[in-house]
Structure 1
């Protein structure tokens, strides 16, 4: 039937868009990591977030929309959490592989989802997430030899992501484009001092500015745009399940672009956290169905 085919085409388009979004984000982050030697994680984060903010400000022009004081405060908190999350995540990438950093960071939103439910089945997903983290700890002969400081930054980024979700829900009363563009502007104000303190005038080198623009486009502008395409055509539950594949895609991007080899234990850790994320999303209560 034509209507059925139309729906199937829309679903396929959404899946391709979301896959493209995750791929663009992981490729952009891989490229960003290659800039650490020149700018450090702090300077790279500052350029990425600043260019992302400028792009979205140009697209949405949020000043045209009235903004209440309550929404402004909510967006400020949302943006501060977003900036801190980006900075902490990039700091973790200095010493641990991309895929593992994403997997560890995923425990933040996973914790928010589990705590908001408190059902018996959720303890199973907690067990998978904890098992994944335990596999990454430097314990025994099977130690994965990960830098504990890098893991700490990734866990802190997970906390920041959890706060980003909480504050983002509060900022949801504002116009979506306005909240995102102003939130990223606030994020840029948070990370810029760290970037300037570490990288100094190197941040304004034309080649590095161009590289920072590329990172902003690949890591933010393209993913956000493709995610909007997917969100309009996929149920939230399906969207969340597909998004749970991001740690694996990050690991593959790290392997392809950064030559980051993972051990079998590290792949098992990523798989365990992905199972926790998929399971939590699939069993979540809500109106949306897969």
Structure 2
């Protein structure tokens, strides 16, 4: 397949080599041209609009709603599409933007598949992402070989792309709450002389033996926060969860507490650290 990839950050740089290795013809665009230049076997695109001309699939992985709007909508890139490409949106964006984009895709003759992922760049580099896919059956079928090339499993969530968007937002909300729960528990055990490392090793090998708890529990225990997922992006997703809940009249009291603590961490200068640095907010307050 001829694939155009828009938005080559850390995740994109980990994903694109798998597409190339599986025999696909890949072109890419990024705000920083050097990000594309560093990808072997990938042709640079001069603009996002070029992605929607002459390609079978366009994959976008942009940081937030504002970036998606600027790069795809305000630029006219989507409206200029030719042929009948499938647009795979791997960005974590709001349900409101997903709903807004669907008629714009229909007008442009572009099939829309939402496919946000669970996994950090290291997971993407191993082609072990979990992909949350929602969109028209035929469109998802067309891009399934790409998902197979980059992921461990594709989770099909129906025809409405909003379902995949809200699943990703809710899942990320749960991760922030997991980080907060480990941070608070470790603060409690430390106050009684039990090191966080000892306590979290027990918990992440027994009651909470899963990758997210293990990865972020290790960060908290070692107090090492090299970014796998930047805290600023975690705050962005927490704000998306709050907005999505407000739109449906849903109360998320626990999530509101974590959102406030993420904001505190950003103000404390931790925006570019891993989101597990949220734990340091609790440690400093005790």
Q: TM-score range by the shorter chain?
A: under 0.3
Q: Considering Cα pairs closer than 8 Å and 6+ residues apart, tell me whether 1 or 2 has the greater RCO.
A: 1
Higher helix share: 1
TM-score by length of 2: 0.27
TM-score by length of 1: 0.27
Higher strand share: 2
